Structure 1
């Protein structure tokens, strides 16, 4: 558009410069047209008259052409005595505004004349005139209209005209261009006088007038929202009384009859009544009763008013009212969950209920009573609550209970609730949940054919809340395999949905799934932990994601890991598993790994960990330690068994066989034990346990020398003492181990230990005493004995300290130790 106007200006300048004669008085050419404003698309004719004396055409060869914007049009050329005439015909002028120029082409092109042509449409008649009266101060009448759908492309002016019939006054109100609304002041109308109103539109192509309307200004008044009060109608159940009034500025119209509209809804409903209730021609001093409402129910109400056909006012502020209460009516839908307490022969009952379609609470403060008797009374009452569930116990033989609703006006008829035992029957499978919209879910399932199946119970509850009152249920018949459930479901929150089969004699096993209205990526990803590694494998584990952080059903866990070369590998785990095993790892590479957790609503990635496989890993250490431990255990077992097989030698080596004279028997002493004892020469003290030889012989009084030699020559004999005593052939009638007496030997010395060695051999006497050793009746105790020919030994000191008392027989000293008299000392063994 700017470039077009620039070209027009250039042409006009050229026209001025070239169209002047020398006297600069008369232009070279004139352009004429029938009208400078034409209907858009109509034909246009123009004529260009050029003086013959114009310098542009004198003495030159030329021709005339027409330009419309960028387009050229040929023209018809004719001449007379004083001028040259050229005419052009444009069949359709499609520009809303353009410059038509007449040009002379000689050596150059010069514009010698032109005219601006504008095109558009005549105005349409204004339509949909509407006026509204404002009754607040100041009173005004506002009228508006629709100028029409078609753009005129020309400047169109509107004017509002009013004629008041009662006073014959006419008013005209002119409006600025483009304005289609006007506010008439209070002096221009009467509230109760009819008036004629119309609008006129004018532009360069014509004018038009709208259809007039006849209006009483008060009937066009839009009232302010009325003021409403509600209360129950006394002694009339199901009725509310609505008292209303206009605003303070409009209260002067209290004597006028107005039309009233009322809309109602219960307090727990989301929607108003579909069709408002119309009350015609009522005064504000008169209240309006609304009946056929539910007893004991809280209602919300709004009203709006108008005068005859005036616009409705805005709805009033909503007010609430409660109808009079009556006793509850109808039955309750119930759902019972039973579990057994066998040790106490009781049934644990969870009873849920909700109003059926026929139930009416008919009151505000409604409570519920569960009892074991049909007739009301306190004796059989199980529980009383204002909620929608109850838990209690019943005897195992209980068949049914009774549920009642109670308000201030009375009790409902009892609803019989049968107690169905749980049955170990599973007929429901394939439960799935599909979101429908922002408030509902579609539950679908499959069931096996069963003749005893009577229906299904669909139960749902939020899993992040433990309040049982949030449990909801729906009961369906046996032919259904899907159900749409509606409630205040929250997105990204889990809900447990269970489908129970109902049989004639009980409730079967349910199938439960977790469902979400909408899902998104989990809010957290668990940290990967290395549980163990062996050879080229690594086992990774992680903790379970908390339920409130999942935001959906976990579909998969994927572990991504790569080595230093950047090779990426992926290992997946099922939703129920929380471990993966990475195989084929290189012991010299450092690996990076992270986990991705996915739901149907998105995925989240966890933090990255780094790990490396050691050549000698923990598993190998454990294996080596286990093998070593097993080997050491076997070696220890072998050593222990060897020790037990040589128990006697070890016992004699580490624990010498010290005889206890008070508790031992001579039978337990063997010749082998005496031979194994040796004198410790490093010890200054003599070894009192040294025995050169021990044997038992039966001598009547005294042994002969030959017999004594024979005894000494048989010093290496190691026969058992028990056999020597109890089983000795020298003891007639002795039967060995079954002896009643404990035999032992007595060593007899012929003189005191410090006397010269006697040539007579010692005498050995055998005794078969039944008394314990050391409990003898002999009255003397030997002090010492002669171990060698040149050295005397004592039991507890040197021999020179053992001096026998004067007048004491040395033999009598040994009688104090009768067991020692059985000891035979061999001098050759000491050497």
Structure 2
């Protein structure tokens, strides 16, 4: 039995129906959805969602239609993709068809609804009055761009007369323009196929204004809480209505990679997560906005999260002294510090000694080690510390010196003075040698008796005299010293004392050798050379009558001969300052008492002392070579 027709329709299930999604030219924020088939006896349901939303039941929107195969979706977002699907059911049936395959459709573009977020980085003004200005802006979001941004138009106007100073088109989100030192107004417009965005305007101050401007943010601090960076500040100007916060990695040299954020009239700002990375140093600046003009900023360096330094400081030792040395080190690079350096600690110790540590402030990069031992080996290293810990640098070794610079200078000065004295004395010695020799090393006479040869000792007298002609001489003479002779005689008493010959023996020897000197000659020399007490001697006893005539004759002959010898000799009376009693002329000594010569002379002539020599007249004297001057 065939079931009735109505019962068959209740059991029929439609196949999934494909759809077609298209935008409507000239109509914004709309999509036209169509499908094929006879839908006069069917009802359809359209499901659509924004592709930016997640694929969940809450993201879907539904529209139900009947007896038609097209539908227009309205109140959509411009230039937005939507995923559309459809399912249908016959009228009177209990079963809906499966959802068809989703089709993607995009709404038509619209002119950007918002201006670009514009920022600038100013270079220093050049002496010529020009400077570079780096313009940066953020890419518009899709719900703001409302289409595909084709490019950006930049224009520069002088604030004084609003004349166009520069105009550029670019597809990038940054540009650099060269401006003069006066004030400018810069505008940036983003455009797509549907139109232009609102104009973003930024004022550039003149060089004169920038030099006179002062920071209006007086206190600026940073802190980290709940994995977020918090910046707090205070201002001195109540007319400020907004701020701009700029931050960037201090190691980043590309100005186009800086980040910024416009905020309202608030003195506390919490950065979103992910804005900062750990172990990196950031420079954070707060710019106050006063009457649509951006004023001078206040800046601070901060770490989001700190750690121990990767490397310790590299140290070296300079100015090593006897008891002191200076250890220097270099500042750790920002990329290896992993945090803000709080202090440095210097560790050093002598060989075999205990280690000593000295902590200094982070602003110091050198330290003077004191109270070191001289000529000792030391090892040292420096540790850099953050709030998370410290890292030691490599160790270095050095030896202290044996002498200090002061001691070395004194040694050199003493050596130089000594050398100067020696040089001066050498020059003076070369120029005034004889005079200096007489001053420092005077000649002191010293008698030295020469050794007589045996022949001279045994040589007999030339004219032996008989006992009858032997006459006691009145004086003992000393030979004259010529002027060119450098030596001087000692006292006659000393000479005779060394030769063990007394004055009486010398007189006796003169008497034995024969008396041929005339009394008048003796009296002549006595009157010239001998002092008055010696001249006035008691009268001599008269000799025997039998020999008086011979004695007078011989005396007269000798006196005549002596006068002739004295005339030829040209004697000069000179005295030695070192020997008061020595003279350089022949001196006659008077015997105080006369004795009668023994009538019978010994067979052998007496041997004269080495210092006494018999003269040609039979008169004995002290020879010149018997006395030698020696230097002490």
Query: Normalized against structure 2, the TM-score is what?
Result: 0.50
Tell me, yes or no, if structure 1 residue 371 matches structure 2 residue 162: no
Q: Which runs of 5+ in 2 are unaligned?
A: 1-9, 37-41, 424-632
Q: Partner of 2:231 in structure 1? A: 443
- 1:552–1:237 CA distance, 2 compared to 1 (3 A): farther
Preserved contact between residue 433 and residue 444 of structure 1 (Cα < 8 Å): yes
1:432 corresponds, among 209, 213, 221, to: 221
More contact order relative to length (CA 8 Å, sep ≥ 6): 2
Alignment RMSD (CA, Å): 5.4
Q: Partner of 1:416 in structure 2? A: 201
Spell out, residue by residue over 1:753-788, the C-alpha distance to the aligned partner (whole angstroms, 9 max, x if none).
Answer: xxxxxxxxxxxxxxxxxxxxxxxxxxxxxxxxxxxx
Kindly state the Cα deviation for residue 450 of structure 1 after the two structures are TM-superposed: 2.8
Preserved contact between residue 331 and residue 413 of structure 1 (Cα < 8 Å): yes
Tell me, yes or no, if structure 1 residue 575 matches structure 2 residue 362: yes
SS in 2 for 1:561: strand
Q: Partner of 2:270 in structure 1? A: 484
Q: Partner of 2:29 in structure 1? A: 238
Q: Partner of 2:594 in structure 1? A: none
Q: Partner of 1:829 in structure 2? A: none
Measure the CA separation in 2 of the matches of 1:595 and 1:432.
Answer: 30
Q: Partner of 2:457 in structure 1? A: none
SS in 2 for 1:360: helix
Preserved contact between residue 594 and residue 609 of structure 1 (Cα < 8 Å): yes
Q: Partner of 1:404 in structure 2? A: 189
Q: Partner of 2:129 in structure 1? A: 345
What is the 5 A alignment of 1:545-624?
545-564=332-351, 567-587=354-374, 590-616=377-403, 620-621=404-405, 624=408
> Larger % of strand: which?
1
- 1:562–1:341 CA distance, 2 compared to 1 (3 A): closer
Preserved contact between residue 183 and residue 203 of structure 2 (Cα < 8 Å): no
Kindly state the Cα deviation for residue 363 of structure 1 after the two structures are TM-superposed: 2.0
Measure the CA separation in 1 of the matches of 2:328 and 2:356.
Answer: 17
Spell out, residue by residue over 1:244-282, the C-alpha distance to the aligned partner (whole angstroms, 9 max, x if none).
Answer: 99xxxxxxxxx996784735428xxxx889941332668
- 1:282–1:468 CA distance, 2 compared to 1 (3 A): farther
What is the 5 A alignment of 1:348-747?
348-354=132-138, 360-372=144-156, 381-420=166-205, 421-422=209-210, 423-436=212-225, 440-447=228-235, 449-450=236-237, 453-477=240-264, 479-486=265-272, 488-504=275-291, 507-564=294-351, 567-587=354-374, 590-616=377-403, 620-621=404-405, 624=408
Preserved contact between residue 572 and residue 580 of structure 1 (Cα < 8 Å): no
- 1:263–1:527 CA distance, 2 compared to 1 (3 A): same
SS in 2 for 1:384: strand
Measure the CA separation in 1 of the matches of 2:79 and 2:385.
Answer: 51
Pairs aligned (count): 400
Measure the CA separation in 2 of the matches of 1:574 and 1:301.
Answer: 64
SS in 1 for 2:233: strand
SS in 2 for 1:344: coil
Measure the CA separation in 2 of the matches of 1:272 and 1:581.
Answer: 70
Preserved contact between residue 326 and residue 368 of structure 2 (Cα < 8 Å): yes
- 1:434–1:615 CA distance, 2 compared to 1 (3 A): same
Measure the CA separation in 2 of the matches of 1:306 and 1:615.
Answer: 106
SS in 2 for 1:524: coil
Kindly state the Cα deviation for residue 512 of structure 1 after the two structures are TM-superposed: 2.2
Kindly state the Cα deviation for residue 328 of structure 1 after the two structures are TM-superposed: 2.1
Kindly state the Cα deviation for residue 565 of structure 1 after the two structures are TM-superposed: 5.7
> Larger % of helix: which?
2
Measure the CA separation in 2 of the matches of 1:380 and 1:229.
Answer: 52
- 1:378–1:431 CA distance, 2 compared to 1 (3 A): closer
Query: Normalized against structure 1, the TM-score is what?
Result: 0.39
Q: Which runs of 5+ in 1 are unaligned?
A: 1-191, 194-217, 219-223, 246-254, 640-831
Spell out, residue by residue over 1:595-635, the C-alpha distance to the aligned partner (whole angstroms, 9 max, x if none).
Answer: 3322334433333334443333xxx34984699599979x9
Measure the CA separation in 1 of the matches of 2:22 and 2:385.
Answer: 57
What is the 5 A alignment of 1:143-222?
none
Measure the CA separation in 1 of the matches of 2:361 and 2:398.
Answer: 23
What is the 5 A alignment of 1:37-186?
none
Q: Partner of 1:278 in structure 2? A: 61
SS in 1 for 2:109: coil
Preserved contact between residue 264 and residue 302 of structure 1 (Cα < 8 Å): no
Measure the CA separation in 1 of the matches of 2:84 and 2:344.
Answer: 56
Q: Partner of 2:475 in structure 1? A: none
- 1:286–1:309 CA distance, 2 compared to 1 (3 A): same
Preserved contact between residue 48 and residue 82 of structure 2 (Cα < 8 Å): no
Measure the CA separation in 2 of the matches of 1:430 and 1:349.
Answer: 28
Q: Partner of 1:644 in structure 2? A: none
SS in 1 for 2:336: helix
Measure the CA separation in 2 of the matches of 1:462 and 1:390.
Answer: 21
Q: Partner of 2:565 in structure 1? A: none
Measure the CA separation in 2 of the matches of 1:321 and 1:378.
Answer: 46
